[in-house]
Chains A and B, each alone.
Chain A
Amino acid sequence: MESLLSLGKRKPRKNGLQRKRRVGAWNMTLDEEDEELMRSYSGNKIRTTKYTFLSFVPKNLFEQLHRFANVYFVFLSALNFVPIVNAFQPEISLIPIVLVMSVTAVKDMWEDYRRRKSDWQVNGQLCEVYDRTQQRYVKRRWAEVCVGDLVLLGCNDIIPADMVLLHSSDPKGVCHIETANLDGETNLKQRQVVRDLPQQGPDFNPENFSSRIECENPNNDLRRFRGYMEHPGKVRVGLHNDNLLLRSCTVRNTERVIGIVVYAGHETKAMQNNSGPRYKRSKLERRLNVDVLWSVALLFLMCFSTAVGHGIWLRGLKGAVFLIPDDISPALAGFYMFWTMIIVLQVLIPISLYVSIEIVKLGQIYFIQNDLDLYNPRLDAGIQCRALNITEDLGQIQYLFSDKTGTLTENRMLFRRCTVAGVEYPHHENAQSLEQYEEQFGGAADHTLTLRSRSSRKSVSCRSLSCNHSSVSLNTLAAESDSNSFDDTLHRQAQGAFSSTMECAVVPDPQLGQKLKVLSAPLLGRLKHDATELSHIVDFFLALAVCNTVVVSSPSQPRHVVQMPVARTPLRSLEEMKALLQKVSLPRFALSPSQNSDGSPGFTKRLFNRGRSATYTPNAPTTPAARAPTPSLTPTHTPSPCSTPVLLRSGAWGQEEEQPRQSDADDGPAAEEEEKDDSDEEDKLLYEAESPDEAALVQAARAYGCTLLGRSPEQLLVALPGTGPLSVPLLHVLPFHSARKRMSVVVRHPLTGQVVVYTKGADSVIMELVGRKTSDDQREIMEKTQRHLDDYAKEGLRTLCIAKRVLEEGEYEDWLKRHVFAEASIENREELLRETAQMLETKLTLLGATGIVDRLQEDVPETIEALQRAGIKVWVLTGDKQETAVNIACACKLLRPTDQLLTLNCDIKEDCETLLSELLEQIGVSERRHASGCEDGLAVGDRGGFMLVIDGRTLDFALEAELQGAFLELTGSCRSVICCRSTPLQKSKVVRLVGEKLGVMTLAIGDGANDVSMIQVADVGIGISGQEGMQAVMSSDFAISRFKHLRKLLLVHGHWCYTRLANMILYFFYKNVMYVNLLFWYQFFCGFSGSTMTNSWVLIFFNLLFTSVPPLMYGVFDKNVSAQTLLSLPQLYKHGQNSKAYLPSTFWLTILDAFYQSLVCFFIPYFAYAGSDIGLFSFGSPINGSALLIILLHQIIESRTLTWLHFAVFLCSALLYYIFVLVFSIICVTCNHPTNPYGIETKVMSEPLYYCVCAVTTVLALLPRMLCRGLYNTLCPSDVVKAGLIDKLRPEDYSASVCQWQENSEAIYHNQNPRHLDKNLSVNADIPTDCTPETGSVLS
Chain B
Amino acid sequence: MMASSYNAKEEDGHHSGASGPGSSTVKSRKPDNTAFKQQRLPAWQPILTAGTVLPAFFVIGLIFIPIGIGLYVTSNNIKEFEIDYTGIDMSSPCFNCSQSFSWNSSVPCKCSLAFSLDQPFESNVFMYYGLSNFYQNHRRYVKSRDDSQLNGDSFSLTNPSKECEPYRTSENKPIAPCGAIANSLFNDTLELFYIDPNGTRTPIPLIKKGIAWWTDKHVKFRNPGGNNSNLTAIFQGTSKPVNWRKPVYELDTDPENNGFINEDFIVWMRTAALPTFRKLYRIIQKKNNMTPTLPRGNYTLEVTYNYPVRSFEGRKRMILSTISWMGGKNPFLGIAYITVGSVCFFLGVVLLIIHHKYGNRNNSSDIPN
Contacts and interface: CB of A to CB of B under 8 A. Distances in A.
A534 B234 CA distance: 126
Interface in B340-362: 340, 343-344, 347, 351, 354-355, 358-359, 362
A1263 B37 CA distance: 35
Contact of B5 (A181, A1169, A1233, A1288): A181
A87 B274 contact: no
Given A115-B13, A1200-B45, A1277 B365 contact: no
B60 interface: yes
A1173 B136 CA distance: 12
Contact of B279 (A322, A1173, A1180): A1173
Nearest to A1085: B274
B202 interface: no
A1175 B215 CA distance: 14
A1202 B2 contact: no
A53 interface: no
B291 interface: no
A1233 B2 contact: no
A381 B163 CA distance: 65
A1173 B128 contact: yes
Interface stretch (A24-32, A270-278, A477-485, A928-936): A270-278
Contacts of A570: none
B32 interface: yes
A1297 interface: yes
Contact of A1089 (B30, B50, B135, B343): B135
Interface in B267-317: 270-280, 308, 311-312, 314
B49 A1273 contact: yes
B117 interface: no
Contacts of B43: 1119, 1201-1203
B31 interface: yes
Interface stretch (B107-115, B138-146, B193-201, B245-253): B138-146
Given A325-B166, A1266-B56, A1285 B274 contact: no
A118 B24 CA distance: 14
Interface in A1213-1263: 1229-1230, 1233-1236, 1238-1239, 1242-1243, 1247-1249, 1252-1253, 1256, 1259-1260, 1263
Contacts of B184: 321-322
A565 interface: no
A683 to B, nearest CB: 23
Nearest to A383: B31
A148 B62 CA distance: 89
B16 A46 contact: yes
Given A493-B1, A1260-B340, A1301-B368, A322 B17 contact: no
Interface string A1170-1189: 11111111111000000000
Contacts of A1239: 213, 215-216, 219-220
Interface stretch (B83-91, B170-178, B255-263, B330-338): B330-338
A367 B31 CA distance: 10
Interface in B78-136: 128, 130, 134-136
A1230 B21 contact: no
A1281 interface: yes
Contact of A1300 (B54, B60, B333, B365): B365
A1149 interface: no
A1164 interface: yes
A926 interface: no
Contacts of A115: 12-14
A1259 B342 CA distance: 13
A62 interface: no
A281 interface: no
B129 to A, nearest CB: 10
B2 A184 contact: yes
Contact of B312 (A320, A324, A382): A320
Given A274-B15, A1173-B272, A1252-B71, A319 B326 contact: no
A952 interface: no
Given A274-B14, A319-B311, A1243-B215, A1173 B333 contact: no
A575 interface: no
Contact of A324 (B29, B144, B347): B144
B327 A1172 contact: yes
B145 A1178 contact: no
A979 B18 CA distance: 42
A775 to B, nearest CB: 49
Contact of A1229 (B3, B37, B219, B314): B219
B238 interface: no
B91 to A, nearest CB: 25
B227 interface: no
Contact of B16 (A114, A248, A1236): A248
B273 A1247 contact: no
B366 A1286 contact: yes
B67 to A, nearest CB: 7
B362 to A, nearest CB: 7
B340 A1259 contact: yes
A1297 B13 contact: no
A1202 B1 contact: no
Contacts of A1260: 336, 340
Nearest to B149: A1230
Given A1085-B275, A1284-B45, A382 B368 contact: no
Given A1243-B215, A1270-B49, A1234 B134 contact: no
A1230 B147 contact: yes
B275 to A, nearest CB: 6
A1284 B47 contact: yes
A14 interface: no
B33 interface: yes
B344 A1263 contact: yes
B39 interface: yes
B29 A380 contact: yes
Contacts of B336: 1164, 1167-1168, 1256, 1260
Given A325-B166, A1170-B274, A1285-B362, A320 B52 contact: no
A738 to B, nearest CB: 23
Contacts of B226: none
A317 B279 contact: no
A869 B64 CA distance: 49
B230 interface: no
A1179 B358 CA distance: 44
B354 A1271 contact: yes
Interface stretch (A224-232, A368-376, A500-508): A368-376
Contact of A1087 (B7, B49, B275): B275
A186 B5 CA distance: 11
A118 B213 contact: no
A250 interface: yes
Contacts of A1238: 215-216, 219-220
B29 A1176 contact: no
Given A180-B2, A250-B17, A274-B15, A1172 B277 contact: yes
B150 to A, nearest CB: 8
A46 B213 contact: no
A118 B13 contact: yes
A250 B22 CA distance: 12
B138 A322 contact: yes
A1267 B48 CA distance: 9
Contacts of B37: 367, 370
Contact of A1274 (B44, B49, B56): B49
Nearest to A1177: B273
B153 interface: yes
A1179 B45 contact: no
9 contacts: A250-B17, A324-B141, A1086-B137, A1172-B278, A1176-B142, A1203-B42, A1235-B142, A1263-B347, A1266-B48
8 closest Cβ pairs, A-B complex: A1179-B273, A1239-B215, A381-B3, A1270-B53, A320-B312, A118-B12, A158-B17, A1234-B143
Given A181-B5, A1202-B43, A1238-B215, 8 more contacts: A322-B184, A324-B141, A371-B31, A380-B29, A1033-B6, A1270-B52, A1286-B366, A1288-B47
